[in-house]
Structure formats: C-alpha cells, structure tokens
Chain A
Amino acid sequence: MSYSATASHDEHHDHPTGMMRWLTTTNHKDIGTMYLTFSLIMFLVGGFMILCVRAELFQPGLQLVQPELFNQLIGVHALVMIFTALMPAATGFANWMLPLQIGAPDMALPRLNNWGFWLLPPAAILLTLPFTLAMFGIGDGAIATGWTFYTPLSVQGGLGVDFAIFSVHLLGISSVMGSINIIVTIFNMRAPGMTMMKLPMFAWGWLITAFLLIATIPVLAGAVTMLLTDRHFGTHFFDAAGGGDPILFQHLFWFFGHPEVYILLLPVWGFMPQILQTFSRKPMYGYKAQVYSLWAIGALSVVVWAHHFFTVGMPVPALLYFMYSTMAISVPLAVLFFCWIATIWRGSMSFETPMLFAVGWIILFGIGGLTGLVLADVAADAQYHHTYFVVAHFHYTLFAGGIMGIMAGVYYWLPKMTGHMYNEKLGKLHFWLTAIAFNLTFIPQFFLGLAGMPRRIPDYALQFTEFNQISTIAAFVLGLSQLLFVYNIISCARGGKKATDKVWEGAEGLEWTLPSPPPYHSFTEQPVVK
C-alpha cells in the first residue's frame, strides 16, 4: 500500500480548557486518553484487591481477610479487571488509533463516544461503593458471588449484588455505545480507496469485537435484569419452586461470558500482527487467513458457552457438542498463531519493548490457549473444574494474552500519542519483571489446581503452602513492577526524547504519516489509499 496523506496542522482549538475539556470533549484522542487513563487507574485498583487476596493465601488458615471480604475481593477484582481495565484499554486504543489508521477525521458519532466513556466512572463507583458503605455500617459489602453472579447465591445476597447489577447495566450501555461507534466508524469513515480487505488488522479485530458486544452484552443485561426482578419483584426465573432454574442463569451469563473472552482478546489479536511486522521489518504474513480466522473465532465463540459449566449436569449429547465446538476454535486460533510466527520468521528483528512484549505474548498466550484445550475435554474437566488450574489458565489468556498485549500496544503507540520516546531501559526492565513474575505467580497455580486446590476459598490444606507462598511473593513483585509502567508512561507524557513521525523504522500504516503527537483534528482532509 502507498499513501498520499495531507496532515492538517490546524492549531486553533475551539474547545474548553481545564476540567471542562475532558467532561465535554467530542475529540477521539481526548476520549481515547480518558479511556486509557481510566483503565490504568482501575488496573491498579483491581491489582490492589487481588494482592489482599494473595496476602491472605500466603499461609493456610485465616489471617488478614475474613471469608466474606475474601469473596467480595475476588469477585470485584474480576469485574474491575475485565470491565473497567481491559475493555476500556481496548476501547481507548480504538478511539485513539482507528481514526488515524483508517484516515478518518474523528470517530463517526463523537458525542455518543463521550457518553460511552463517561458511563464508566459511575459504573466503577457502583462496583466499589459497597466496600465504603460497609465501613459506615450500611449493608454487608460488595458482591460476594464471584464475577459470575451465579444464582441462587446472588438472589440471596445483600445490596452489593444490586450495586453490581446496575454497574453491569451501565458498563453494558457503555460497551454498546462504544461498539456502535466503532462499527459505524469502520463502515463509514474509511479513507477513499481503503477497501475492507485493505483495513488495518486492528480495525478487523475491533469490528468483530464490536459485533460480539452487540450480540451478547444485551443478553447479559437481560440476565442481570431477571436477577434483579427475582431478587426484588417476585419473579421466578431462577427458582424451581416457580418452574425456573438456577442453571438458566448460567446459560444466559455464559452466552455473554464466553464471547466476552474474545471481546477482550480480539482487539489485541488485531494490533499484535502490526507490532510483529514493524519489528520484523517484513509484511504481515497471511492477511486474508488472519481475517477469516478472526471471523471464524468470532462466530464459534457464541456457540460454545456451556463448556464453562460441564459439571453442572447436562445431557451427554450436549456435553459432546460443547466439547467438540470448543475444540474447533483451536483450528482458526492455530492459523493465527502460525501467521504470527510466520510474520517474524526470518525477519530482521529488533527487540524494543513492544516487540519483547509481543514475542513474550505469543509464547504465554500460547500456554493459555493450550491449557484451555485441556479444560475443554469433558472427561478431564471433571477434575480441573473450579480448581486453581482454571485460575491459572484464564490468567494466561487474560493477563498474558490481554493485559500484556495491551502493554505491548501502549509502548508501541505511546511515542505517537505523546510525541516523546519512553525510557527504553525501564520498559525492558518492566517487561522482564512482568514476564518472570507473571510465570512465577501462575505456574504454581497450575500445579495447585492439578493437585486439587479449589478456587475461591480463603483457606487451604497444608500441602499447598509452598506453591501458594511462591505465588504470593511473585504476585507482589508483579504488582509492584507495574509501578515502573505507570512511572514510564507519566514521564513519557511529560517529556523526553522527541519522537519522529514514523517512530519505528519498520512501521507501516496511516497513523505513522501524521506528526507525533498528531494534530488535534487528525485527517481533516482524508488521505487517498492506493
């Protein structure tokens, strides 16, 4: 592809300044920055919660946290990390980069875009407020059911469940608004000449993510609405006495919950090949194969949900169907892995921080995928279900596959966004500390799970002590090394070596044709893609 870009250097800004700029903005970069900042803050909040949990698990017996608070912390940790850290980070990148990558002046529906962001802080308040209320003697704390809201526990729970229900409603509206915006932007705002099969891979990843969100988030909203009416208005969706079924909730929840996994990962699968090609200095391998694989995974992800509760009691044909369909996902995913590896194969690679994260990500996410294949086996799952094996597995997919992928993206685009280079040494140190501490945290958990340690229990049998101690110490290293990340981002935003327009030698794509940082209004004249 070759581009002829006309960057606008329009410097007169007709927008309010100070706090009002951020409250009222309709600019995709401002909104993207807010999403990313919010995500980073909530990442630290969620991390703090889980460090309390890990501290409790340092020794058998109960020391620091009572079981009630323990249950609240694990559930809210998950909700915070999934809905207010990982998803907003991906949406933040979409806001920042999609218009730049497809040559658009802004997102298609800017005011809606602003609303999508400003729903998130109220949702985060709703999620965490019950902790504070409990300190003042109001209610008994946050939701204590785990992030999955399983009935009948969630029907019986205190006001923390209601807060979580409405938080999910707001988060859902935010996701739907964000998805509408992204779909419309990709369909309607592309530069002339940019056909769908010339779309940057990141746009493809997000387009399919947005479709999944549109199809599944409303189902979650419906499910928690039924939960709310069961709790307060006497309906019987989840109660056998009225002809309902608690397992109905699991079906509804995981109809959303499994695609949610891909909602978290597809944006990363989108921009990761772009990072790999940049630092391998050769074109992306198998563009079409990757696009079709993304579609295949997106389509399969909505028909496999019941593998999350194989042990709940299902007819054998259903078990077989959900097992085989789940395993079928590994075929397109293997195609993606092949393409990622083939992209860097025999490239002239250099290992700046984004590339370190990207290569580490391929390996670690690979472990996450393969352990998922183990869990998909109905017979094996009977042993692994609800053990720490599951915890380790989904942290390999969501921390390594999700968060570390996002970190690669942050280092990759930070010079473009801020106009300054980040501290490379610190970045590399951050990567190695994160990668090593991450593995030391979660590899022991695989073994703990295989040995039978159940998840979501604040106490454990004596023989699990050593592995839990390794895991806890590593988790604290992992948590503390994220402060390096925060420091690096802040100092990069404040100053440092000037970044060039292209930033990376091998960078390809429209966003690198604009100055770093890009002007307030990106492409007032659309570039023409040949």
Chain B
Amino acid sequence: MATHTEGQYFVPTPSLYPFIISLGLLSMASGFILSLAHERHKDLGYLQGPGEWMMIVGAVAVIAMIFRWMGKVISESEGGMYKKWEDKSFRWGMIVFICSEVAFFAAFFGALFYMRVISVPEIAAFDPDYTMYKDFLGTWPSTGPGGLVLGTEYTPPANFSPMAAWGIPAINTLILLSSGVTVTWAHWGLLKNNRKQLVIGLFLTVLLGIIFLALQAYEYHHAYTELGLTLNAGAYGSTFFMLTGFHGFHVTLGTIMLIVILLRSIKGHFTPQHHFGFEGVAWYWHFVDVVWLGLFIFVYWL
C-alpha cells in the first residue's frame, strides 16, 4: 500500500469486489425471474430449479463479497489510511445514501396516501348505474371491492381486521425509541473513551433490535392466522406488508451492522476521534427509527 500522509487523499487499490457483486446481482435477478417464469409461461416450469440455484449462488457471492469488501475497508481504517479528509467523504456519502433511502420509503408512503385518499374513495363513488363495485363503501382500512385480477376472482377476506396500534406496535415503538437512546449512550461512552459503556450500550441496542424483529415476526403470524390480514388483502394488506416488510428488512440490516460494530468495539476498534463506522451505523439506526414513527402513525394508528 502506498505511503499516505495527511493532506494526500487515499485512493484505494484496485479491487474485484464490486465486479463480482454486480455479477452476483445479475445471477440473483435472472434466477429469480426464471424461477417465476412459469407463472406467465406455462411451458417454462423446468426453469424453476435452475433459477433457484442461480439465486442462491448469486446471493452467496454478493454476501461474501460485501463481507470481504467491508473487511478490507475496516483493515484500511485500522491501518490509518483514513484521515480527516477521507472521513468527511464517508460522512457525506452516508448522509446522501440515507436521503436516497428516505426517497425509497416515500414511494410506498405515497402509494398508501394515494390509495387511502384518492383511489379507494373514488372506487366507492362511481355512478351505481355504471360500476361493478356497487356495494363497496370505500372506508379505510380497505381491502378493496373484489373482482377479477389477472383472470382469477379476488374476494376480499371476510373476517378481515386491521392491525391494532396500541398493542405490539406501540411496544415496538417504545423498543425502537429506547434503542435510539442506548446507541446514543454507547456513543457518549465512546467519546469519553469508556469502552465498557460503549460495549454495553451497543449490546443493548442489538438486543432491542432483535426483540423488535421477533415481535414483528409474531405480529405477522398473528395477522396471517387470525386477522385475515395478508399480503393479498387489497389496499391495506399491500401497503401494510410492503411498508412494514421493507422496514423490517432495514431493521435486519441495521441489526447486522450493529453486531459488526459491537464485535469491532469488543476487539478495541474506534477511538474517540476516529469512529465513522460507528456513527454511520448509528445514523442508519436512527433513520430506521424515524421511518418506524411514520409507520406507527400512518399505518397502524390513524
């Protein structure tokens, strides 16, 4: 590795990781498509097996490369390659990345608001003489009037009830908010060079993240088995599961990142002056937290 001093920007050495990740994604995507091809093309059922294998191989490649890539970045960081200048790049990069994630969730919130405010009431308000949705009331939460979808009849679930806000979701809100507190407490510990506080704070954060995910899994089970609330349950089911599902996926990623940061802290990484890795993960965790508040208010509560 080239010698590196303050004021000279560190340009990392050539790397094959990005290329392999891209190939892995290509394999995952085409495998996924082929494994589902039989839904539209009856003669393509034989592609399901190979498609699934392509997905697995691709996913393994992507995950392995992400770990090696991040491992390389960590070793460069611990090797003192990143000074203030590089650190600032990472900070800006993380901020912009989180902004793009906000935009991604905005699409799904947009769909929720559109269905709730525009399309569901509109379907109910059609002229009764010209509509097939005569008895549809258009009240929220709605699973839609029912009708033909892709050639098969869709009947809204009969015993449907939405997820109540003041049970598990409220507890989950408390859990995520507390995890925001514990990760900040861990950060204070890091700044004071109190390693014990850092490790305990991170450990509690990870624990709260896992409890959140477990409760979320229980809630999904409850929804599917007792509430008639499934992914196929019309407007409410679609938005409920896509919003909470993508959020849960982000919590999972965040928890994995927190575990990595926890292990690094135990190993003695990070100093009070130099710990972007920690802060990047903390920012991400706070972002996931804020998205949850939006979910709690607009999906569960109102």
Contact = CB atoms under 8 A, between A and B. Distances in A.
Contacts of B39: 231-232
Interface in B134-168: 142-150, 154, 156
Contacts of A21: 14
B93 A162 contact: no
Contacts of B194: none
Nearest to A186: B92
Contacts of B123: 240, 243, 245
B104 A244 contact: no
Contact of A159 (B33, B97, B133, B234): B33
B14 A25 contact: yes
A166 interface: yes
Interface stretch (B107-115, B171-179, B213-221): B107-115
A104 B23 CA distance: 31
A189 interface: yes
A106 B85 CA distance: 13
B18 A114 contact: yes
B149 A241 contact: yes
B103 A214 contact: yes
Interface in A225-263: 225-226, 229, 231-237, 239-245, 247-248, 251-252, 255
B18 A241 contact: no
Nearest to B148: A241
Interface stretch (B4-12, B272-280, B282-290): B4-12
Contacts of B236: 243
Nearest to B154: A241
Contacts of A524: 8
Interface in B115-142: 115, 118-120, 122-123, 133, 142
A235 B237 contact: yes
Interface residues of B, number: 79
B142 A243 contact: yes
B183 to A, nearest CB: 23
A119 B145 contact: no
Contacts of B111: 222, 226, 237, 248, 252
Contacts of A225: 242
Given A122-B23, A242-B235, A129 B30 contact: yes
B15 interface: yes
Among A122, A226, A229, max chain B CB count under 10 A is at A122
Contacts of A104: 9
A156 B150 contact: yes
A219 B104 contact: yes
B188 interface: no
A245 B118 contact: yes
A508 to B, nearest CB: 25
B32 interface: yes
Interface stretch (A175-183, A266-274, A406-414): A175-183
B57 interface: no
B17 interface: yes
Interface stretch (B40-48, B200-208, B257-265, B294-302): B40-48
Nearest to B96: A180
B33 A109 contact: no
A243 B23 contact: no
A138 B34 CA distance: 10
Contacts of A126: 26, 29-30
Nearest to B131: A240
Contacts of B107: 218-219, 221-223, 226, 252
Given A125-B26, A158-B40, A162-B33, A240 B119 contact: yes
Contacts of B90: 109
Contact of B133 (A24, A180, A214, A240): A240
A140 interface: yes
Interface in B217-272: 231-239, 241-242
B96 A184 contact: yes
A15 interface: yes
Interface in A103-149: 104-106, 108-112, 114-115, 118-119, 121-122, 125-126, 129, 138-140
A109 B93 contact: yes
A498 B99 CA distance: 45
A217 B110 CA distance: 15
B199 interface: no
A248 B109 CA distance: 12
Nearest to A123: B26
Contact of B97 (A23, A176, A188): A176
Among B100, B156, B234, B237, max chain A CB count under 10 A is at B100
Contact of B232 (A162, A169, A234): A234
A524 B3 CA distance: 13
Given A163-B33, A232-B39, A184 B142 contact: no
B238 A139 contact: no
A114 B19 contact: yes
Contacts of B17: 111, 115
A233 B232 CA distance: 8
Contacts of B16: 20, 23-24
Contact of A138 (B23, B44, B154): B44
Nearest to B43: A137
A106 B147 CA distance: 57
A216 interface: yes
B192 interface: no
A521 interface: yes
Among B22, B88, B149, B232, max chain A CB count under 10 A is at B22
A139 B234 contact: no
A445 B170 CA distance: 59
Contacts of A27: 11
B12 A244 contact: no
A111 B15 contact: yes
A420 to B, nearest CB: 26
A241 B131 CA distance: 12
Contacts of B8: 105, 524
A11 interface: no
A159 B40 contact: yes
A61 interface: no
Nearest to B87: A188
Contact of B92 (A106, A118, A184, A236): A184
Contact of A237 (B32, B34, B238): B238
B242 A242 contact: no
B93 A112 contact: yes
A217 B104 CA distance: 8
29 contacts: A15-B14, A20-B14, A23-B16, A109-B93, A110-B11, A111-B17, A119-B22, A121-B22, A122-B25, A181-B93, A184-B89, A184-B92, A188-B88, A218-B103, A222-B104, A222-B111, A233-B232, A234-B232, A236-B149, A239-B149, A241-B147, A242-B154, A242-B235, A243-B120, A243-B234, A243-B236, A244-B115, A245-B119, A247-B119
Interface of B: 2, 8-9, 11-19, 21-23, 25-26, 29-30, 32-34, 36-37, 39-41, 44, 47, 69, 85, 88-90, 92-93, 96-97, 99-101, 103-108, 110-111, 114-115, 118-120, 122-123, 133, 142-150, 154, 156, 231-239, 241-242
Which 8 A-B residue pairings sit nearest by Cβ, starting from the closest?
A222-B107, A243-B235, A115-B18, A241-B147, A243-B144, A24-B14, A245-B119, A122-B26
Given A122-B25, A236-B232, 10 more contacts: A15-B14, A108-B89, A110-B11, A119-B25, A170-B29, A189-B89, A222-B108, A236-B237, A240-B133, A243-B234
